[in-house]
């Protein structure tokens, strides 16, 4: 069984920063890709950023230059540093990981950016 536990969401003013963390725990050999998705009210869940087990990353166009994803393979942890936040970044953010070709999701953490 695999669990993803997120932390770090909250309320911030536009232009501010937040840092989201996610730890994968359970019985597995290795975590492959990890990343973050978000779901705003009335919208579909969308990719924010993901990172391979190496150093390859990709970002949604809307967050490029503002968000940075990183991971610690030894700790099975992925971090999303979010800077210059905008009101349109408001959403529930979900941690995601791929382990043995299966997708796993965290419970979600709310990020609210006030304008």
Digit-coded pLDDT (tens) for 84-98: 999 999 999 999 999
Q: Average pLDDT for residues 63-79, to the nearest whole number? A: 95
pLDDT score, position 62: 98
User: Between 47 and 115, where is the model more confident?
Assistant: 47
Long-range residue pairs from 12-17, CB within 8 A, at least 24 positions apart, any chain:
12/85, 12/111, 12/112, 12/113, 12/114, 13/113, 13/114, 14/85, 14/86, 14/87, 14/113, 14/114, 14/115, 15/84, 15/85, 16/85, 16/113, 17/81, 17/82, 17/83, 17/84, 17/85
Kindly indicate the confidence band of residue 29, based on its pLDDT and cuts at 50, 70 and 90.
confident
pLDDT score, position 15: 98
Q: Average pLDDT for residues 40-45, to the nearest whole number? A: 95
């Amino acid at each position: 069984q695999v669990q993803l536990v997120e932390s770090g969401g909250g309320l911030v003013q536009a232009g501010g920063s937040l840092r989201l963390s996610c730890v994968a725990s359970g019985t597995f050999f290795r975590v492959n890709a990890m990343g973050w998705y978000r779901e705003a009210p009335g919208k579909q869940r969308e990719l924010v950023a993901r990172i391979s087990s190496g150093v390859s990353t990709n970002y949604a166009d809307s967050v490029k230059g503002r968000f940075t994803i990183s991971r610690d393979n030894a700790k099975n942890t992925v971090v999303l540093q979010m800077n210059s936040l905008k009101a349109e970044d408001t959403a529930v953010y979900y941690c995601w990981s791929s382990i043995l070709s299966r997708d796993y999701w965290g419970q979600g953490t709310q990020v609210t950016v006030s304008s």
